[in-house]
Amino acid sequence: MTAHQKILDVLDSIRPAIQADGGDVELVDYRADEGIVEVRLLGACESCPISMMTLKEGIERRIKSSVPSVVEVMAR
């Protein structure tokens, strides 16, 4: 399985919890040469005051544990 597919799988696994709070997340870009994943937070996540905590403590942590080559997850 490719790193890109693993990232999509992680996002799919956490999407129900994010959607339960009225938000969503989508993969915008994966720059394998830099280890950078860009995601877009949607819905309630766009204006949520703790969305960056969700991004770093939830999404980034899960992606990095599944794809060790990822060094950072950023919101676009």
Domains and CATH numbers, the chain: 3-75 (3.30.300.130)
Q: What is the 3-state secondary structure (H, E, C) of the chain?
A: CCHHHHHHHHHHHHHHHHHHCCEEEEEEEEECCCCEEEEEEEEHHHCCCCHHHHHHHHHHHHHHHHCCCCCEEEEC
Residues (pLDDT < 50) of the chain are none
Q: What is the pLDDT of residue 57?
A: 84
pLDDT of residue 50: 84
Residue 35: CA count within 13 A, CB half-sphere: 10
Instruction: Report d(CA 48, CA 31) in Å as an integer.
Output: 26
